[in-house]
Structure 1
Amino acid sequence: MHRSLSYRVKIARAAALVLALFAGASGLEAQSPTVPVTVDQDGTVHVPAMSVPVSSLSSPEAQAYVAEHLRQMQQPALLQQVNGVPVFMKPYLARQTALFAHKKVEATIGGVHVYDYAPAAGIAPANRHRVLINLHGGGFSGCFPGCAELESIPVTALGRVRVVSVDYREGPDHKFPAASEDVASVYRALLKSYPAKNIGIYGCSAGGMLTGMAMAWFDKHGLPLPGAIGIFCAGATTSAFGFGGDADFVAIPIGEARAAPAWPPAEPNAGTKLPYLAGTDPKDPLVNPGISDAVMRRFPPTLIITATRGFEYSSAVHTHAQLVRLGVDAELHVWEGLFHGFFYNPDVPESREAYDVMVRFFDRHLGRAER
């Protein structure tokens, strides 16, 4: 068919516009750094100083939250813990307490101190024979009850389910495998009242790591695995700098306002620097389950939650890929522009989305019937 000259001109103009848009999107014309990006023979990239705004894809509330978090991380006084609650987390805890009606009982289960949560509205009929175990964050060095409360209160209230948060032993006073032993003790005790398929285990940060470690521990010691688990703000791998991968270098500056670690490392083969794990073998699947296909293949349905500025992001993505490769029913949910443990603030829409994902995942995967 004959095409008019005006038609061909329009096509050419449209093509030029598309090329211009792609060039602008890639920053080829918008940015002309005076110091170029350079690449070593081994692929190490040297990036000049640059400015990174909050994500344009995040909600306005999340954008303000990220800006506040980055400022807070540069104020050491706000990072200090008072009675197990980091100062900057206190407003989040007060807000959660006001929003989510719940009951809390301090108890001992299997010889281990716990907080036992239930919704003020009562446990839903479908959850009468179910229980969730929370393993709190805090780098294996604190944040109980602060992190425990922030991870348990929304889930118990919104899910209308019992949540038991474990006050497991931490460093520097205790070393691996103390926390795994405590989780196993609580789990054994709950198995007397609940079938394994009706028990879910989840945690954020160190608690997410410990959730994966617990699966390896249970498997080695002949315990039945739970019905489902949640690895939040974490993955099943570790490194000397954090969780490993690109996020150790990319997400730490823009998510936590800390300088990226120096490269190459002074100790190339060093394992994690967490005091609790001092002296452990990074190739031990009880410490680092992500290195063992045999262990990971036995994981129950697994929910992984992270964010693009979370320093666990790479590990979370890698862990999900490994589980899928091994045939495990695994879900990965990533929130744009947010940081490590973002859902502690309940007034951010993305946090409410995360709570909903958690509640629905365990509802789908845990058994309902009594023994």
Structure 2
Amino acid sequence: MVTRPWIADTVWAVVLTVLSVAYALPNVTECLLALPLCASLAIRRTFPAAALAVATVAAAAQAWLLPQPSMSILAVPIMVYSLRRWSGRTLGLIGVGIAVVGALIAPVLWLPDHNAKDIAQTAGAYALFILAVYGVGLRVREREEAALAYARAQAAEERSEIAREVHDIVAHSLSLIAVQAEGGRSLVRRSPDRAPEILDVIADESRKALNEIREMVTLLRSGSLPTNQDGPAGIRELVGRVGDRAKLTVTGDINPALGFTMYRVVQEALTNFLRHAGPQATVDVRVAADTVNTEIVVRDNGSGTAATSDGKGHGLDTMRERVEAHGGSLTAGPLTDGGYEVHAVIPLGASREASSGSTVR
């Protein structure tokens, strides 16, 4: 991005001025008329409307007073290009309109001894050249706007990715902390000596959340996201943090490339379980892989349709986005016989050999 466009524009103006004066000498009138037209290029981006006004008057004076075009007339197509590329549609159209009119009139003044056909051909060539330059300016601007829009979309996606990661980490950790605090409150009433134990658990979960956020920010700053670091082992650790209310079954050989997505889906499903299923509910987490798909099922026997919600959560949308990014599908909702189920299916994209399953309680 050019932060000081007037510097480059001034250089262009000086170069064209030197060439124009050298070409015009010893014609003093032509030299003097070249100066304002070339000078207008120096302000074509900083003060485009003023530049157009100066260029219009100077070019008109040249067409009226000079018997033939001077080299400084090259400033006209440069001005047309600049206005369309950097100054927007309205000023660009005004500029090209004035330039086309000048291109049609100037040959009449410069070629008085030629026949009408020659004049018409010259005027047409000038006008077509002006329109072609305008088209180039328009095309370059469109490409720059498209690149800027793409960059903004990428930035928005990065911000959305950060928001998703922070949501997953913080929501899950806070849910675990809330469960431990609620359980600890009644436990401490019966056994006050166990208060340090409960506080240690809460402090440990808080530290884990902070560490995960730091690691995630570091990865995002490096322009990457984790892929296989949170596969089956990470899911086992995640389910284990919920305690004896959760059971995990892993079957098959899990594709490491899907490990991070699987981890986040299970994490969000467990977060919803902790928040909504109720203190007596249990949850069953099943991860199964064959040669075609990886399937994740998180099913609890909690509140189901009676679960309360503040309506502000985006967890299901986040899970669905992650799964669909791999070409999979996700459904979630209450079960007819009570409880709630999250069901995700992710295609593997390559055959993998199945292995025996294991159960963690």
Task: Tell me whether the two structures share a fold, i.e. TM-score over 0.5.
Answer: no
Q: What TM bracket, shorter-length normalisation? A: under 0.3
What TM-score comes out, normalization by structure 1 length? Answer: 0.24
Task: Answer 1 or 2: higher relative contact order, Cα 8 Å, separation at least 6.
Answer: 1
Q: Which has the higher strand share?
A: 1
What TM-score comes out, normalization by structure 2 length? Answer: 0.25
